[in-house]
Amino acid sequence: MPSFLSSLAVPAAALAASLALFGLFVALVGVNPLDVYQLMYTGAFGSWFSWQNTLTRAAPLILTALCTALPAQLGLVIIGGEGALVLGGLAAAAVGLALEGASALIVLPAMGLTGMAAGALLIGAAGALRHGRGVNETIASLLLSYIAVAVLNHMVEGPLKDPASLNKPSTAPLADDYTIGTLPGMDVHWGLVVGVVCAVAAWVLMRRTTFGFAARMVGGNPRAARMAGLPVGRLLIVTTALAGAMAGLAGMVEVAAVHGRANASLIAGYGSTGILVAFLARQNPLAVIPVAILFGGIGASGGLLQRRLGLPDASVLVLQGIIFVTLLASEGLRGRLRLPRLAKQPQEA
């Protein structure tokens, strides 16, 4: 399976190179890279405690990565996961507050469905605009994401504001019954299971169904797909809506399992990290799971780097940026390193 191996080798090499570059970077600001690596390992995977922290962060990352990976099957680049997460979380909190008093068996599914619907509307709109008006979906999804963040700020500062939340404007807290509990025997909430199930379902949908086959055909060659009579518009809109639903669900999980209310804590960068996870997983929904765990670990170790070495919290962002850039460069260098002359010829011709 040489193609499988190379699809593993390129991201792995890019990761290794990125860690080296990041080491160089921290060395330049006067921190010992070996200490950084050591602490990153400790903070991410060094103990059962850090594993649980890592897995808790991986849960929303799996879902936001699917928000990019699903549309990628159709050749679309969607980067609005952050907004879909925020809007999903806000909608879920609003429903949880509106239905207060009802049984958790009704309220939790209602919160999940509303969160998914909110995310689906946001990202589905980017897909619909792409199909209906030819609007670039990358820019549209990012703009929609900014609008979603403004809506969150508006709601928690205005209509949904809990008067008791003074320095951090929030909605009122959800009733205790409406929180998602932890998995038996550990401190990781059920959101992780939700994420893994969604990732597997997304993989089955894209690799084992007619829908997925049609979607990947559109991604391979839209014109040929249209010629073959595939409903390109419907595929586009349904897939982007599904993608948004994943990120919206991530927002619901964050609200119901971590924060207990909707506020600006939802804007934690899971959206942008999710994009990177999807790219590193080569847009494969199953590969998203281990990559999300890896990045959950990097995120989890951020606090330790800050406390022990005095590195800014943005260290994690820098590492993510380096990984992203290195990954894309290594994809481009892959053929070139082996056959430098052949790769150059068409350019000089």
List of residues contacting other proteins (CB under 8 A): 77, 79, 129, 131-136, 138-140, 142-144, 146-147, 149-151, 153-154, 157-158, 272, 275-276, 279, 311-322, 324-325, 327-329, 331-336, 343, 347, 349
- Residue 96 or 271: the one with the smaller Cβ distance to other proteins is 271
What are 242's two structure tokens?
A: 């599904």
- Residue 147 or 230: the one with the smaller Cβ distance to other proteins is 147
For the stretch 280-283, contacts whose Cβ atoms lie closer than 8 Å and that sit 24 or more positions apart, written own/partner, are: 280/11, 280/14, 280/15, 280/323, 280/327, 281/11, 281/65, 281/69, 282/7, 282/11, 283/68, 283/69, 283/72, 283/73
DSSP string, 198-255: HHHHHHHHHHHSHHHHHHHHHHH-HHHHHHTT--HHHHHHHHHHHHHHHHHHHHHHII
Handedness of CA 300, 305, 306, 311 (dihedral sign): negative
> Cβ 94 to other proteins, closest distance in Å?
16
> Cβ 194 to other proteins, closest distance in Å?
26
- Residue 18 or 179: the one with the smaller Cβ distance to other proteins is 18
Report the C-alpha gap between 327 and 25 in whole angstroms. Answer: 17
- Residue 196 or 343: the one with the smaller Cβ distance to other proteins is 343
Please identify which residue in the block is written with the tokens 């507050």.
97
- Residue 51 or 295: the one with the smaller Cβ distance to other proteins is 295
> Cβ 343 to other proteins, closest distance in Å?
6
Report the C-alpha gap between 95 and 107 in whole angstroms. Answer: 8
Phi, psi at 348, each rounded to 5°: -85, -25
Query: What one-character DSSP code corresponds to residue 260?
Result: S
> Cβ 154 to other proteins, closest distance in Å?
4
- Residue 3 or 347: the one with the smaller Cβ distance to other proteins is 347
> Cβ 130 to other proteins, closest distance in Å?
9
> Cβ 40 to other proteins, closest distance in Å?
15
- Residue 238 or 317: the one with the smaller Cβ distance to other proteins is 317
Beta bridge partners of 171: 161
> Cβ 272 to other proteins, closest distance in Å?
6
